[in-house]
Amino acid sequence: MRTKSQSMNNEHEFLKLFCVTITDYASSMLECGALSSTIEDSVHRISDEYGIKTDVSILPRRVLIAIWTIDQEHSYNNIGRTIKHGINISKVVELSQLASEVEATHMSISDLQEKIRSINSETRMNPNLVLVLTAMANASFCRLFGGDAIAMGIVFVATLCGFLIKQKMLKNKFDGRLTTFASAIIAAIISSCGIAYGWSETPHTALATSVLFLVPGIPFLNAMGDMLRGHHLCTVSRIAEAIITTACLSLGLCLAMLLMNIEW
């Protein structure tokens, strides 16, 4: 692999390009919610393939990259910043598969850069489909907690409305915490109809499960995953974010219960 870098006329140009590309790669992975150990592992696999020594430190919202040639003659440093887009598992999967692809095909750096760019520009799943799937998921959650068919229906409608509000607010660049708070209030108020009108046998289950689609499951699990692999700084930042989101959704639920005059 060493020959690849030597064959370029200017080793510095090569190193600079590699540094920019790998920073791009690592910060894309961090912003879409990959585990820190996954980021480190993928970055090391790619740089081994190009015959470069890379050291990566992952901070809550920054990635520090230092690269060296094997003979420690030349080096470059870079800091990657992340933009918050929310968790995107599709991107994590494709970026980690890109590392295996690099190992298998020995692609050139400009090809790698092009691939990272094309993965970053992919669109998310159809929002209407996500809306329906989430509503179905939350309705089946209600069933798992022992709700009856009418309670499931109530939760389905409540989630549909709550998640629609969330999608619209995020699209209009509202703050994430405010969005969680607002959609929790909407979902909880709609699902408290069951209690107000006596529609179901288990109206309290409907109310309690209506806001569960807002619980940040992946950030909680990522935090624990990072903790088990020794990335304690990332653990703290991820768990703080998850706790703040949970606090916002419970505040929304409590306010809705207060408005509807329901005891908890």
Partner 1 sequence: MDLIFSTIQDGIFAAIASIGFGSISNAPWKTLKHCGWIAAVGHATRFLLMSLGLHIIFAVFAGAILIGYFSRTVSQRTGILFESIAFVSLLPMIPGMYAYRTMQSFISFIQSAGYAENAASIQMMSYNALMTLAIILMMAIGVMLVPKKRSL
Using CB under 8 A, list all residues that contact partner 1: 33-35, 38, 86-94, 96-97, 100, 124-125, 129-130, 133-138, 140-141, 143-145, 208-209, 211-213, 215, 217-218, 220-222, 224-225, 227-229, 246-247, 249-251, 253-254, 264
Per-residue tokens: 72 = 């420690």
Q: Could you tell me the smallest distance in angstroms from the CB atom of residue 130 to partner 1? A: 5
| Rounded distance between C-alpha atoms, residue 162 and residue 53, angstroms | 48
Q: Could you tell me the smallest distance in angstroms from the CB atom of residue 2 to partner 1? A: 28
What is Dmax (Cα atoms) for the chain? 78
Q: Could you tell me the smallest distance in angstroms from the CB atom of residue 212 to partner 1? A: 4
Question: In terms of CB distance, is 15 or 30 closer to partner 1?
Answer: 30
Question: In terms of CB distance, is 251 or 260 closer to partner 1?
Answer: 251
Q: Could you tell me the smallest distance in angstroms from the CB atom of residue 33 to partner 1? A: 7
65 SS3 class: strand
Question: In terms of CB distance, is 150 or 227 closer to partner 1?
Answer: 227
| Rounded distance between C-alpha atoms, residue 103 and residue 239, angstroms | 34
Strand ranges for the chain from DSSP E: 52-58, 62-69, 75-81
| Rounded distance between C-alpha atoms, residue 98 and residue 117, angstroms | 12
Question: In terms of CB distance, is 83 or 129 closer to partner 1?
Answer: 129
Which helix (H) or strand (E) is 112 found in, with range? helix 109-120
Q: Could you tell me the smallest distance in angstroms from the CB atom of residue 262 to partner 1? A: 12
Question: In terms of CB distance, is 91 or 115 closer to partner 1?
Answer: 91
Q: How many residues does the chain have?
A: 264
Q: Could you tell me the smallest distance in angstroms from the CB atom of residue 29 to partner 1? A: 10
Q: Could you tell me the smallest distance in angstroms from the CB atom of residue 14 to partner 1? A: 29
DSSP secondary structure letters along 202-228? -HHHHHHHTTGGGS-HHHHHHHHHHHH
Distance of CA 135 to the CA centre of its chain: 20
106 SS3 class: coil
Question: In terms of CB distance, is 81 or 124 closer to partner 1?
Answer: 124
Exposure string for 1-37, b = 16+ CB within 10 A, e = fewer: eeeebeeeeeeeebbebbbbbbbbbbbbbbbbbbbbb
Question: In terms of CB distance, is 20 or 254 closer to partner 1?
Answer: 254
